[in-house]
Structure 1
Amino acid sequence: MRCLLHNTILLILLNSISGSIYANVSYNNIPSAYQPSVWHRVFQKINEKREFLPIIYNEREVSGSIIGDAVCLICDAVFTALLTERSFDMTKIQLEAQVEYYCADFLKIEEQDVCAGVIGLNMDPILYILDKKATVTSTEVCSMLLGCTQGSEAFEWKIDIPAGETVKKVESDGKQTFKIAHITDIHYDPDYTEGKPADCGKPQCCQPDQDNPANTSVSVCGYWTSEIHADVSPKLLNNTLDEMNSKPLMDFEFVYFTGDLVSHRVWNTSQDYNRKTITYVLDVFAEKFKNKKVFPILGNHEAHPMNLYPPLNIPEDDLNQQWLFDVISEKWLHWLTDNEKETVKNGGYYTVSPKTGFRIIVLNNNVCQSENWWNLYENKDPYGQLQWLVKVLQQAEKDKEIVHILSHIPTSACLKVWGREYNRIIERFANTIAAQFNGHTHRDHFSIYYDSKNVSNNVVINGASLVTDGAYPNFKIYTVDSKGFDILDSEVYTFDLEKANTNKKIDWYKLYSFQKDFGVANLTHTEMDRLVKTMISDIKSKNYTLINKYHDFYYRGSKIGKNVNCDSKCQNKYLCDMLTTVERQTTMCEKYLTF
């Protein structure tokens, strides 16, 4: 009882700080990204006091400030109390009830069934980690969740990288090209229900178990999907893939799919539900792209529970993800050979060479995110994946191959140690890697990698998403040089969702050509670095043309995006994100963002 009271007092402090200290301060009116993990969202509000920091912005960058230290102290106290309760044999049922109370009743983070579902799914893995590992400290938890400095020593390791410099870059000449399609974050909802309230008070709406609209003034879920709180309907999925195959202009050879097939109904998933979704969508891919190679990767939503990718040596079937690796190793055989799927069954990653001199590396980097509780249990290079990446890149370097790397999570959203080691690998093999691709954020953006001398050496392009999340659905078509395999252009296709729902017909159109609209020769890191510096120079001269265009495309031309006033803080966020690929490593932001 004493611990419960202690927790209540601490959470009152937490809530009061997050609610009152900046109640009247608004970053801007951009709709908040959907983050259903209630564990992370308990501290999410407090973390937003980055608004009181200098203009330098980065996810969870609060460490080192007075407010940041206070947040970490509160986090430490809260988890100390919870860990103490467990050490005094507080039962799973008692712990679940306590956290559900904080989530649904006290802090009102989500509705009762959402809190109960997510917490119930996460509790067994968390208790397994607490009970099986010799020690788990509150500072480790807070370092993982918030990037607090204290406890960070638990997340410190290095990858062995061979000595030497990257090879001389193979220069693209544009004489011969081919095309690659990129689609990401489908979040397929087999139960999407038209006519239900579009804003139901839950992370995902448009569900058959919702009440019907109370009156005609209530905004309802549209024919294809809705702008917020809705996933991709069967109709939208099929229409999109048909459209991608319909025009000679889009005569692409390969499809990059960078993860997240499963819906946002994360409080009610199961192995069976996820398996059926994954199987169905991959079968649709195989049917629609009969004569094309698809290179799929895992997203954080494919796992059950979401985000959790445990070590391979966890024997319990209800805790490990072997069922998932078995499913994809079977379904990905549409496009991979038996030899290529060996690592798929042991971690969900692989490499393939679809053209002479060209190699694709697919990573399961969902292991790197802070919401993966298993990093508290074992975090050193999960699945041996980064060391494997070094081996593959070293062989590619020897064989004079050029590489594209696909992953789901932007490395800036990974644990700092994982992102740092990944950056070290990129620096060593920079000229072997032509480009990188990811998803996860549901936004159209890019980031530049910089070496230890702050010189650009690589670029990563985000595919945005088919799911709306406050923007219009989209897919991309890349023009790729056949010699150096650089990305020469990126064309984005979308449609006006409101018109499509009204007319029950989608009119796809090309939103932009990156090369033409941003005035770059190509999408290499050199050109993208130049573009960012041009944006910064323009803004200092009060010329906002490029950054406003970037903001519009970030939301794929949607009305929600157009209604957002992208002020100086918003502009700095965009620019700092372009310059950051390691969590809380803001060197390039500090160097260039002085306005």
Structure 2
Amino acid sequence: MKRILLPISVMIGLAFAKSDLVQSSFGDLRCQGCRTVVQALSDRLTTDPFVSAINVLIGDKYDALSIAQSLSQLIITPDYFCSKVTNLCEGKAQYQEVDPQDDIHNILKDKPNHISNNFINELYEELGNRRYIAAPKRLKFLHISDLHLDLFYEEGTISDCGQSYCCRNDTYIGQGSNKAGKFGAVVGNCDPPKVTLQDALNFIKEKINPDVIVWTGDNSPHDGYRTSEWEVTLNTNVTTQMIQQTFPHLLNATYAVFGNHDNFPNNNWNFKTGSPAAQNSMSMWKPWIDPEKFEQFQKTGYYSQRLKNINYKLVQVIALNTQSCDINNRFVMSELYDPNNQIEWLINELKLVEQNDGVAIIVQHIIPEECSESYAVRYRAVLERFQHIIRLNFFGHTHADKFKVSRAYDDQNSPISMLHVCGSISTWGGNPSFCVYEVDEDTMLPVSRQTYAFDMAKANQDGFITWDLYTDWLITYELKDLSPNSFVEFANKVKQDGLLARQYNQRARRDYNLSGFCDDNCRQNAYCEMMTQSLEEMSQCQGKSFPYDMGGDIVNGILQYLQNPWVKVQDKKEKLHKWN
């Protein structure tokens, strides 16, 4: 333990030792001393004693190693720590905090003058008028997410076993009394078996017959403490094989991304070395990804390619790797300016689409408020800058069937675009579901959204699954259309109407027992989820003074706090110049 505490104590002492002597030769000696100590610490940070010490704090040895690796790549390095953290090497500083407002300004400054912040709303108005003239051509998009397939699920085991994960062969005995059913568990910490996913795919093939498949990741179960890199890869490979075998005719119309559970450890993507658990699955996605795009995908986890269903105009599908922004990805701390270069790359891709008079569809896993604050505010600026280009924005991750309104950085916070969040196939948080969108081929705007689900308790009792059209968004929520303005109107109703808010929250989980009421706090929280796009913005809407959880989970709170603001190296060419 002394080997762990001694260098940390020395660093703390150095941090508080700064005085006027910093400018003297003694100050230079202290700078050199800091660099020597920090280098020694950085060299040893990923060794067993240090990793064990971190493990004591967080209780996860794999996550502890990721934290140590990430810290050793930037924050606990002589250049960064001694200049940016302690200021002991003030004269040799290389790092400078970036004001997000500067980045937002640079992203928005070449926004075309003729594009108003009402562009998509006006397009929906035109679309509404046009349907009376001629029958529109439509494409049917299937959106599946958060499958969390459990290949080791066992029917008859205890589902509420009292452990962090159940429904396995070691939970035939436990403190609970609920049993794992044929298709999944109604109560307890379990994910569904293979038979449930296959039933969903068969129903989709026979009854939905989609033109395009969007798959927004998270394929391995919530058994993080007992899983392995091999098992995470296996889950993605098996799930991929099931989708490809069920829809062999859609190999050129399937667009998939990885989720945080497709990495090992979960959430962690090392931007220097990648994520072996995910990368070991990439070869199976070759039938879906253009050969010239595959190398980019292997390196970064993101890619961009044309929607092949339409030949007469450019519709570009841009698939993002949200591990580049995930607040729980420890390696976000290792690149504190545009991790994985994703924002820069996204802007460049959208500019190419703009130059070719095309439109774009974005596919990703994690919603913006579960990204770092620095990423989320810039992503919002990207959505404003390219609001006339981006027509669909797909998300998963939350397991909830919801939406978010993206707003402009203008005085009115104008609603400019929609973020569509689909629920999960997994039972972790609700009954299984998937989403179907009808998309107008001319504008590539969604004109209908439907959620299909089934009642797990009834299915287990019956011995077979009956899929229902559970929520028809236009009809169930009495929406005029799927425009941002319509969803803002709906959000304002939810804020005032407890029964409507309760219905929305319960339908988000595909609850078949719609009852109860939603009080003031409940309604406000529902409204904030709909109308905000970053963790800080959400916290302010909910009346919280600080966005990070420093009480219930102080370690994660500190790690998330360290991700902001973005910091750039002064002596390198500014990335902002590339965004112009």
- After TM superposition, the score normalised by the length of structure 2 is 0.74
Deviation, 1:586, is 4.9
> 363-372 or 352-361, which moves further after superposition?
352-361
Structure 1 residue matching 2:264: 3-state secondary structure: coil
- Matched residues in 1 for 2:146 and 2:352: separation? 31
Partner SS, residue 239 of structure 1: helix
What aligned pairs does 1:74-113 form with structure 2 within 5 A after superposition? 92-102=47-57
1:102 is displaced (CA, Å) by 4.9
Match of 1:446 in 2: 403
| 1:582 partner amino acid | S
Aligned partner of 2:363 among 377, 389, 406? 406
1:517 counterpart residue number? 476
Equivalent of 2:103 in 158, 170, 188? 158
2:259 aligned with 1:299: yes
Assess if the C-alpha contact under 8 Å between 1:121 and 1:267 holds in 2.
Answer: no
Aligned length: 476
Structure 1 residues 369 and 121: alpha-carbon distance in aligned structure 2, compared to 1, 3 A threshold: closer
1:154-209 Cα distance to aligned partner (Å, 9 max, x none): 8968385361327465543452222111110011111111222212333321122x
1:480 partner SS: strand
**Does structure 2 conserve the Cα–Cα contact (< 8 Å) formed by 1:118 and 1:266?**
no
Cα distance per residue 1:106-148 (max 9 Å; x no partner): xxxxxxxxx45654665555556666574459x98xxxxxxxx
Question: Which amino acid in structure 2 is aligned with residue 575 of structure 1?
Answer: Y
Identify the residue that residue 544 of structure 1 maps to in structure 2: 498
Q: Please give the per-residue CA displacement for 1:416-463, whole angstroms capped at 9, x wherever unaligned.
A: 111111111111110111121101111111110110111010110101
Alignment partner, residue 331 of structure 1: 284
Structure 1 contact 492–511 (Cα < 8 Å) conserved:
yes
Other-structure match for 1:473? 432
Q: For 1:158, give the aligned amino acid.
A: D
State the 1:483 CA deviation: 1.3
SS in 2 for 1:404: strand
Distance 1:198 1:586, change over 3 A: closer
Note the aligned Cα RMSD (angstroms): 3.3
Q: What code does the residue aligned with 2:198 have?
A: N
The match for 2:29 is none
**Cα deviation code 1:222-256 (max 9, x no counterpart):** 21111331112111111111111121xx1320011
Q: CA deviation at 1:412?
A: 1.4
Corresponding residue SS for 1:164: coil
Deviation for aligned residue 1:275: 2.1
Aligned to 2:421: 462
Equivalent-residue separation in structure 2 for 1:480 and 1:529 (angstroms)? 21
**Secondary structure at the counterpart of residue 310 of structure 1:** coil
Stretch moving more, 430-439 or 199-208: 199-208
The structure-2 alpha-carbon separation of the partners of 1:155 and 1:256, relative to structure 1 and needing over 3 Å to count, comes to farther
8 Å contact 2:263–2:277 — kept in the other structure? no
Match of 1:287, as an amino acid?
Q
Distance 1:289 1:95, change over 3 A: same
**% identical equivalent positions:** 21
Q: 1:274 corresponds to which letter in structure 2?
A: V
> How far apart, in 1, do the equivalents of 2:333 and 2:137 lie?
48
Greater radius of gyration (CA): 2
Q: Deviations over 1:260-315 (max 9, x none)?
A: 1122121233332222221111111110111222111110111122111222xx3x
Q: Look up the match of 1:268.
A: 226
Which secondary structure state, in structure 1, belongs to the residue aligned with residue 103 of structure 2?
coil
Deviation at residue 86 of structure 1 after TM alignment? 5.7
**2: CA distance between counterparts of 1:325 and 1:393?**
26
2:521 matched to which residue of 1?
A: 569
Query: Measured at CA, do residues 195 and 5 of structure 1 come closer, stay the same or move farther in structure 2, by a change above 3 Å?
Result: farther
Change (3 A) 1:126 1:190: farther
Which AA in structure 2 matches 1:365?
A: T
CA shift digits 1:302-359 (9 cap, x unpaired): 1122111222xx3xxxx6326633632x222222220232321221111222224322
Contact 1:480 1:489 (8 Å CA) reproduced: yes
The Cα of 1:153 is off from its aligned counterpart by 4.0
Find out whether 1:582 has 2:544 as its counterpart. no
**Which stretch of the first structure deviates more once superposed, 180-189 or 166-175?**
166-175
CA distance in structure 1 between the aligned counterparts of 2:46 and 2:531, rounded to whole angstroms: 46
SS of 2:248 mapped into structure 1: coil
Name the CA distance, whole Å, in 2 between partners of 1:345 and 1:89: 30
Secondary structure of 1:459's counterpart equals strand
* Contact 1:488–1:521 (Cα < 8 Å) also in 2: no
Residue of structure 1 in register with 2:216 after alignment: 258
| Alpha carbons of structure 1 residues 133 and 375: separation in structure 2 relative to 1, 3 Å | farther
Structure 2 CA distance for partners of 1:282 and 1:340, relative to 1, 3 Å: same
Aligned to 2:452: 493
Q: Return closer, same or farther for 1:133/1:176 CA change in 2, 3 Å cut-off.
A: farther
Matches within 5 A, 1:148-297: 153=97, 158=103, 161=107, 163-165=110-112, 167=115, 170=123, 171-172=126-127, 173-174=130-131, 175-208=136-169, 210-213=170-173, 218-227=177-186, 228-247=188-207, 250-292=208-250, 293-297=253-257
Q: Which moved more, 1:221-230 or 1:84-93?
A: 84-93
* Cα pair distance change 1:569/1:298, threshold 3 Å: same
CA contact (8 A) 2:404 2:530 kept: yes
Indicate which of 309, 334, 344 corresponds to 2:297. Answer: 344
Amino acid of the structure 1 residue aligned with 2:258: L
Q: Deviations over 1:44-71 (max 9, x none)?
A: xxxxxxxxxxxxxxxxxxxxxxxxxxxx
Tell me if structure 2 keeps the 8 A contact 1:182–1:476.
yes
**Amino acid of the residue matched to residue 332 of structure 1?**
W
Superposition deviation, residue 585 in structure 1:
2.1
The offset of 1:214, in angstroms, is: 5.3
- C-alpha distance in structure 2 between counterparts of 1:118 and 1:267, whole Å: 10
From the superposition, tell whether residues 123 and 563 of structure 1 become closer, same or farther in structure 2 (CA, over 3 Å). farther
Q: Deviations along 1:454-490, whole A, 9 cap, x unmatched? A: 1010110101111112310001111111111111111
User: TM-score scaled to structure 1, two decimals?
Assistant: 0.73
* 1:396 equivalent in alignment to 2:353: yes
Contact 2:219–2:261 (CA under 8 A) maintained in structure 1? yes
1-side partners of 2:371 and 2:522: how far apart?
A: 22
CA contact (8 A) 1:386 1:422 kept: yes
Q: Counterparts in 2 of 1:20-31, with a 5 A limit?
A: none
Gap change, CA 1:320 and 1:429, over 3 Å in 2: closer
Counterpart residue identity of residue 318, structure 2: I
Farther off after superposition, 571-580 or 95-104: 95-104
**Structure 1 residues 359-384: Cα deviation after superposition (integer angstroms, max 9, x where no partner):** 22111122202111112211322222
Which runs of no fewer than 5 residues in structure 1 stay unpaired? 7-82, 105-114, 141-150
Counterparts of 1:91 and 1:533 in 2: how far apart (Å)?
Answer: 50
The one-letter code matched in structure 2 to 1:164 is: K
Q: Find the aligned partners of 1:546 and 1:122 in 2 and give their Cα distance.
A: 43
- For residue 424 of structure 1, what is the aligned residue in structure 2? 381
Tell me if structure 2 keeps the 8 A contact 1:458–1:525. Answer: yes
Contact 2:71–2:333 (Cα < 8 Å) also in 1: no
SS at match of 2:316: strand
Q: CA separation in 1, counterparts of 2:516 and 2:229?
A: 39
Summarize the Cα distance change of 1:406–1:211 in structure 2 as closer, same or farther, 3 Å threshold.
closer
- Note the C-alpha offset of 1:556: 0.9
C-alpha change, 1:224 and 1:587, in structure 2 (3 Å) is closer
Query: Contact conserved, 1:117 with 1:268, CA < 8 A, in 2?
Result: no
Structure 1 pair 246–345 and aligned structure 2 pair: CA distance change class (3 A)? same
Task: Letter of the 1:424 partner, please give it.
Answer: A
What is the CA–CA distance in structure 1 between the aligned matches of 2:235 and 2:358, rounded to whole Å? 35
Match of 1:73 in 2: none
